[in-house]
Amino acid sequence: MPTFTISLLLSLLVTALVPPVTSLPQNLILQQTGPIKHLSHIALPLSSQSDHSDDLRPRPQPHPTGCSEAPTTPGDRREDKTVLTIGNFNAEWLFLDGGTGGLRCPGRSCPWKNKAMALDHMNHVAQTIASLGLPDIIHLSEVEGCNALDELIKVLENDHGAGQGTYRGYLVPGRDTALGQQVALITKIDPTDHLTRTDDRIIYPVPGSTCGFTKPGTPSRLQGNSKNYIARFVVNGVGITLGGTHLIAYPDKRDRCEKREAQAQVLSQAIQAQLSSFPSDEVIIMGDFNDYDDQIIDAAGVIDTPISQALNHLRTTTSPPLFNLAHTWHNQSERYTNWYDRNGDCVDGGGDEHVLIDHVLVSAGLRGRLMESRPVHKYKNFCGTVDSDHWPIYAKFDFAPGS
């Protein structure tokens, strides 16, 4: 959840640049069949730039590069092949070189004002991953690109006990032209196929929307999922389809609620399409969903009741529905993954400032293999910290022979 206004301004500007689409059938899905064209490059009006104008990128801005190709012979570099461990972590602006979005990070409009701060943050992210026990597969949100993944892996190897060459980074560039944030993996198990993403767009509000923002008669609009990937692994003979995403922020804003529902449905449909080719696969969907689960009371309590159906759209990707690992966190006060500074005092007051918006959803077969799951809270948050404003989720599954 962003903590500074410029991110919201840029995101709203992108929305404003997309014209409404009229006279479209309500069941339309637009599928991307060729290279997608980016929106016009983002630049705030001069009157809005103020003393941050040096952080706003001139035209043209660079394009992100990918590292999505699976090796010809996938490797498995787990130390213990009787288990599978995973992590889900919004690393918060894991950037080093300025990014590819509408503002520069590091920079004055980014939490990390210079390269030294960004490197310090990188080390803190690595410390947090190490505190999870260096999981086998880690989903990361808010990544700059493959360069940042390479640097993170280097820090894990040099300073935090990861074996040389154990982790590899995978990323397929997304469509977030405002902030330039990507979703990515670092993993000890190579995917069996190249990572893909969906560029499908659907009409919103989606059927059954509970957001209550769009008025009757409003022209039809389209929404895609700008930050997503789909990866496939085979672990001890078990196929796993993994979907990673970072949905649009602000769970209490009704206009964004409608877009988030559509984003969730786009990813759900893409994973269902993948499963048509691999119907026996287990499924994991994880990332920063920027939304609450109506089936789970988080540390903040009923104040975090969702207004959207985003979690329901993702849960019902499979039948039976996917299972949110947070159901196994029995202590309500520990059910949080993000600091939301509700009163703006820059102090982590706990209670209703601890919210659960990052999730790991798994299929029934993986639920049956679950050995443990927990959020990991190794640091306190405050304004000016170089830790992430999120905390990670860890899970361990039994993959011993015969399990």
CA 58, distance to chain mean position in Å, is: 27
Vertex 32: Cα angle to 30 and 34 (nearest 5): 150
pLDDT at residue 35 in the model? 31
Residue written as token pair 């990332």: 287
pLDDT digits (tens, 9 = 90+) for 165-200: 999 999 999 999 999 999 999 999 999 999 999 999
Predicted TM-score (pTM) of this structure: 0.87
Q: Which two tokens stand for residue 316?
A: 């019902």
Measured CA to CA, the distance from residue 285 to residue 361 in angstroms comes to: 5
Least confident of 37-46, 56-65, 176-185: 37-46
pLDDT digits (tens, 9 = 90+) for 268-322: 999 999 999 999 999 999 999 999 999 999 999 999 999 999 999 999 999 999 9
Query: Distance between terminal CA atoms of the chain?
Result: 38
Vertex 47: Cα angle to 41 and 52 (nearest 5): 70
**How many alpha carbons fall within 13 Å on the CB side of residue 322?**
28
DSSP conformation letters of 131-181: HTT--SEEEEEEE--HHHHHHHHHHHHHHS-PPTT--EEEB-----TTT--
CATH 1.25.40.10 assigned to 5-398: no
Q: Are strands 393-398 and 83-94 parallel, antiparallel or unpaired?
A: antiparallel
pLDDT at residue 60 in the model? 60
Q: Is the pLDDT of residue 3 over 50?
A: no
